[in-house]
């Protein structure tokens, strides 16, 4: 099957050495037990030798290498679905929404999250279509390399990788600040060490360890938000200990918007930060046993996460807290006391629950840090396979762990101990600056990659009938997603240059917009290094076959037609359920 796949990519000479259950890797030898098995699991998983035609383009060679990564394929459907529902809910929602409310008011928050949420839904649908069709190592980073331009893919991937690298330290520093909610004088270094060891240990258990941990973390977050929504409705209706109907009075006084149009523009990045890592379902595709079945279900859950966990909860927050509330003006952007969820409970006169909510915030922080380790090691392995990172990071052991990438992330993650510095708030700000707007650049690149893929498919005389999953938003959804990302990047440039309520200054500009110069620097450096001066990959040169697990397209079309016919015979309510779930 692998030989057929590689030849489909374009006259590739393939020499397969050895075989295994997957038909890709060599024989692992006799089974070991006990410590010997544990020790042996860290040995390198040797892939079969691939004698690739040197006349192929760089994009085609990259496609072949990333399509044949020896990563484990043991992530289950329930893991992927729970990761999509609540896996990336973290400080952006629980804490960052407080500063957004203060800056934009309840109307600004709702507008920003609705617009960004719509873009996210269109983007994740594009990810779903590409990831089901090409469940390859590196996922969305690889798609930019294959369908847009190698230099652009390199720049976006490395900048996003820096965001992941910072993510572990960033989230652990956030955890240390959250712990100070109970005692501002406490030394948090010991807690950070415990959290650090926990996250690194989880990732050394492999993708199954990550999946099980995220399943539990996400379940806790989802149950908490559902509980808060119920509590919020009760408090708004006057059913709390303090009593008194609240309704929408804070929308009238002090008002719906805190700083007008500029205030709304200032909220977009916070909204984007809260949706960070939503595309993880696509990155995990290469390690999913059955991406054709698991990914569409997981992708559809994102709609409910946007509506239930973001829009509804933030609408309730806007009704429960005026944007002038003194608690929103905490000294740190990640101060747990500035969490609107905590403030709403405190203002409602409920005792005990604020501490419970802060425990959940810590769980959310650990969850996102855990995801950063998982994501960075996989993206680094994909870049290494593509020849865009040192080959050592292509080291994947017999349990399918990109062990070199996990070790590097663990070393960089030691920056978390900067939390012991009295300048921890400043450290947090600059670590955030590196990742800042990179999410919008990556999401826009995903949408553009989907547009380019569909264009190549059409020009080659083929259509969506050969795709196991088709984006519910179609290619126009990706156009919308790309447009929104461009507009938000422009708005953020304006805000970075002329900050709200402050005079223009270089420090503030780079704290808000540092990611863009970094991306452009990587892009130009790769152009010079590779001497590849073309602006984009022509449709004639795009490889739209390598990496497919369903290589027999005629058989796939028959199966899809049979599945559609079976679904059409079901009652209308079942068809509606399947569309959204």
User: Which CATH fold would you assign to the domain 57-550?
Assistant: Amino acid/polyamine transporter I (1.20.1740)
Confidence of residue 16 (pLDDT cuts 50, 70, 90): very low
Q: Which residues of 34-61 are buried (b: 16+ CB within 10 A; e: fewer)?
A: eeeeeeebeeebebbebebbeebeebbb
What is residue 1's predicted lDDT score, i.e. its pLDDT? 41
Q: Which residues pair with 397 in a beta bridge?
A: 44
The H or E element containing residue 435 is helix 424-435
- Determine the average pLDDT of the residues in 464-493: 91
- Determine the average pLDDT of the residues in 82-87: 70
Q: At residue 55, does pLDDT exceed 60?
A: no
Q: At residue 317, does pLDDT exceed 80?
A: yes
And the tokens for 96? 């960052």
- Determine the average pLDDT of the residues in 488-517: 82
What is residue 231's predicted lDDT score, i.e. its pLDDT? 92
Q: At what angle do helices 515-530 and 424-435 cross, to 10 degrees?
A: 50
Label residue 400 left, alpha or beta by phi (over 0 means left) and psi (-120 to 50 means alpha).
left
Burial of 190 (0-12, 13-18, 19+ CB in 10 A): exposed
Distance CA 477, CA 508 (A): 34
Could you report the per-residue pLDDT of 390-439, keeping only the tens digit for each? 888 888 877 778 888 889 988 988 888 876 766 666 666 666 666 667 88
What is residue 288's predicted lDDT score, i.e. its pLDDT? 73
What is residue 495's predicted lDDT score, i.e. its pLDDT? 86
Distance CA 93, CA 108 (A): 15
DSSP states of 498-555 as a string? S-TTS---HHHHHHHHTHHHHHHHHHHHHHHHHT---SS--GGG---STT-S---HHH
- Determine the average pLDDT of the residues in 556-567: 79
Which of 66-80, 449-463, 490-504, 552-566 is the least confident region?
66-80
Could you report the per-residue pLDDT of 515-557, keeping only the tens digit for each? 888 889 999 999 999 888 888 899 988 888 877 766 666 777 7
What is residue 349's predicted lDDT score, i.e. its pLDDT? 86
| Closest C-alpha among 181, 194, 492, 224 to residue 337 | 181
Domain boundaries of the chain, sorted by first residue: 57-550
Beta carbons within 10 angstroms of residue 539's beta carbon: 16
| Closest C-alpha among 434, 283, 285 to residue 371 | 283
What is residue 302's predicted lDDT score, i.e. its pLDDT? 81
């Amino acid at each position: 099957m692998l030989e057929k796949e590689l030849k489909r990519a374009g006259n590739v000479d393939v020499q397969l050495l050895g075989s295994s259950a997957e038909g890709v890797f060599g024989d692992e030898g006799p089974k070991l037990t006990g410590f010997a098995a544990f020790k042996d699991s860290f040995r390198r998983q040797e892939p079969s030798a691939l004698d690739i035609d040197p006349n192929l383009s760089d994009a085609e060679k990259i496609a072949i290498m990333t399509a044949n990564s020896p990563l484990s394929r043991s992530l289950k459907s329930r893991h992927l679905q729970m990761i999509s529902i609540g896996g990336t809910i973290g400080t952006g929602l629980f804490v960052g929404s407080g500063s957004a409310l203060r800056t934009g008011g309840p109307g600004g928050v709702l507008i920003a999250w609705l617009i960004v949420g719509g873009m996210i839904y269109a983007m994740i649908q594009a990810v779903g279509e590409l990831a089901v069709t090409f469940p390859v190592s590196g996922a969305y980073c690889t798609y930019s390399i294959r369908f847009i331009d190698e230099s652009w893919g390199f720049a976006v991937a490395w900048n996003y990788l820096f965001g992941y690298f910072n993510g572990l330290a960033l989230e652990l520093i956030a955890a240390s600040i959250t712990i100070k909610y109970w005692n501002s004088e406490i030394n948090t270094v010991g807690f950070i060490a415990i959290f650090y060891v926990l996250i690194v240990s989880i990732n050394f258990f492999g993708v199954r360890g990550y999946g099980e941990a995220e399943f539990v973390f996400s379940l806790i977050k989802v149950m908490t938000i559902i509980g808060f929504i119920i509590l919020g409705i009760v408090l708004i209706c006057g059913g709390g200990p303090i009593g008194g109907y609240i309704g929408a009075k804070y929308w009238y006084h002090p008002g719906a918007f805190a700083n007008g149009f500029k205030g709304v523009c200032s909220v977009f990045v916070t909204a984007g930060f809260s949706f960070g890592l939503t595309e993880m379902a696509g990155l995990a595709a290469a390690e999913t046993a059955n991406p054709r079945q698991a990914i569409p279900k997981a992708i559809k859950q994102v709609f409910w996460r946007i509506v239930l966990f973001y829009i509804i909860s933030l609408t309730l927050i806007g009704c429960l807290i005026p944007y002038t509330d003194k608690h929103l003006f905490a000294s740190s952007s990640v101060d747990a006391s500035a969490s609107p969820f905590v403030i709403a409970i405190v203002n409602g006169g409920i005792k005990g629950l604020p501490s419970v909510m802060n425990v959940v915030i810590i769980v959310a922080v650990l969850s996102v840090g855990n995801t950063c380790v998982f994501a960075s090691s996989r993206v680094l392995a994909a870049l290494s396979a593509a020849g865009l990172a040192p080959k050592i990071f292509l080291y994947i052991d017999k349990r399918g762990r990109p062990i070199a990438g996990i070790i590097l992330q663990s070393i960089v993650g030691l920056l978390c101990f900067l939390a012991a510095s009295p300048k921890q708030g400043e450290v947090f700000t600059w670590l955030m600056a590196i990742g800042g707007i990179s999410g919008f650049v990556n999401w826009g690149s995903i949408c553009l990659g989907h547009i380019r893929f569909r264009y190549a498919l059409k020009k080659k005389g083929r259509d969506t009938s050969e795709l196991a999953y088709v984006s519910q938003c179609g290619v126009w959804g990706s156009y919308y997603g790309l447009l929104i990302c461009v507009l938000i990047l422009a708005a953020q440039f304006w805000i970075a240059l002329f900050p709200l309520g402050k005079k223009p200054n270089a420090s503030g500009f780079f704290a808000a917009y540092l990611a863009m110069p970094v991306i452009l620097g990587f892009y130009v450096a790769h152009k010079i290094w590779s001497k590849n001066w073309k602006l984009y990959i022509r449709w004639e040169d795009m490889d739209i076959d390598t990496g497919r697990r369903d290589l027999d397209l005629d058989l796939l079309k028959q199966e899809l037609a049979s599945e559609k016919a079976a679904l059409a015979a079901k009652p209308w309510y079942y068809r509606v359920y399947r569309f959204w779930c």
